[in-house]
Amino acid sequence: MSIPSQRTGQAPAPGASPSAPAPAPNSPFRGLGRSFDAALARGLGHITRRALGPYQTAIVRIGFAVTVLGFLLHEWPNRRLMYGPDSAWSFDMASRFVENSGAFTLLLWSDSGLWFELVYHLTIAAAVAMLLGWRTRAASMLFMIGILSVQNRSIFMGDGGDNVIHLMAMYLVLTRCGQVWSLDARRRARRPDLGPSDDRVGIVLWAVLGVALLAALVSGSVDSWIWSLFLSGMWLVHGYWWLIRRYAPGEPRVVSDIVANLVHNAALLMIMAEVCVIYATAGWYKIQGSRWQDGTAVYYPMNLDYFNVWPEVSELLSSSGPMIMVLSYGTVIVQVAFPFALLNRRAKNVLLVLMMGEHIGIALLMGLPFFSLAMIAMDAVFLPTAFLLWMGARASGLRARLTRRKPAPPEAPPPPAPAEQRPPAWAAKG
């Protein structure tokens, strides 16, 4: 009769010594190093081969361009009173404030009314260029400069939406937000053989902006060394990109493209993190408020004359205690839960719908359309790609019906880099 092994509880193999130890089980960490290396290589290849989220960055670009353009046109009759020479926040007061804060604005370079009109309308033109996706690299810089100039001229004229626009305008400069749904993408699709030397409009635009920047630096208008380095660096980067495309299409172009993708993906990550920080901060601060704790916080702004756009609707909602409680607690729950909902796709999509619905309600009931548009444009970075493609197809169909043209096929994301522009082997393995 065989003696069961004390180590395994099973009979020893025939011919084996009863006292021989059983073989040790395989380590659970066996092969972990190779798996980790393969996963790391796949991850590096994923973030270096292409700019992620082309449709998400495009919808964010369009959303903020629409918001800024709508705001500037809405305030156009009162522009001089709000941000110009007739503002109650006078030129001298604004200049002293900017000297202490270090904020950047072109509108304090001169107190001339002509200069104000030029900057204001150039900002409108930059918003239109961003909306259409025309020369998005240069347009994003002009868009950011125009927004900073207008907002920092009269700092007391804005609200929370202005802060969001302020931040997102700077992030969009670092993204490749014109990959799809832009005139740039259409030009590349129609003229794939167009070389850098054939792009005369881009060369002229780059030269004009360089002359303007040189004049500003020489005259001392840009007195901040940080802004001087940033503006000069961005202009040089655009020139470097043209030179690389023109004279070094091999490995230097590959490396430059990898760096550009990394910068884009890092900026996209910052936009997503900014959304989470804004909602988490707002939600946790609300929790500390007594009115939010007892579920009555929404009641008070709905009964202020400043926010009471539709008195009958506001009165109908505020007269219902359960409705006020649901809106108050629902706002806090959605804002606090959103960063955690990103771990689950379905929960994230549900909360996105709720938050966008909340902002639409704020726009209609409280008369804050541009704040709501800015928040919805910010939330759009988390929209699923399938939904964005469906929305783009519907927009193309509507445009075709209006123009009586054949609907265009859904726009595809940029193709992978050609063979001579692919990343190194270590980034492509796995």
Write out the chain in H/E/C secondary structure. CCCCCCCCCCCCCCCCCCCCCCCCCCCCCCCHHHHHHHHHHHHHHHHHHCCCCHHHHHHHHHHHHHHHHHHHHHCHHHHHHHCCCCCCCCHHHHHHHHHHHCCCCHHHCCCCHHHHHHHHHHHHHHHHHHHHCCCHHHHHHHHHHHHHHHHHHCHHHCCHHHHHHHHHHHHHHCCCCCCCCCHHHHHHHHCCCCCHHHCHHHHHHHHHHHHHHHHHHHHCCCCCHHHHHHHHHHHHHHHHHHHHHHHCCCHHHHHHHHHHHHHHHHHHHHHHHHHHHHHHHHHHHHHCCHHHHCCCCCHHHHCCCCCCCCHHHHHHHHCCHHHHHHHHHHHHHHHHHHHHHCCCHHHHHHHHHHHHHHHHHHHHHHCCHHHHHHHHHHHHHHCCHHHHHHHHHHHHHHHHHHHCCCCCCCCCCCCCCCHHHCCCHHHHCC
pLDDT at 318: 86
pLDDT at 272: 96
pLDDT at 348: 95
pLDDT at 224: 87
pLDDT at 371: 93
Measured CA angle at 294 (ends 288, 296), to 5 deg = 105
pLDDT at 407: 58
**pLDDT tens digits, one per residue of 44-103:** 887 888 899 999 999 999 999 999 999 999 999 999 999 999 998 999 999 999 888 888
Which residues in the chain come in under a pLDDT of 70? 1-33, 36, 405-430
pLDDT at 21: 63
**What is the rounded distance in angstroms from the CA atom of residue 375 to the CA atom of residue 334?**
14
pLDDT at 13: 54
Token duo for residue 61: 């670009």
pLDDT at 175: 95
pLDDT at 406: 60
pTM of the complete model: 0.85
pLDDT at 47: 86
pLDDT at 423: 44
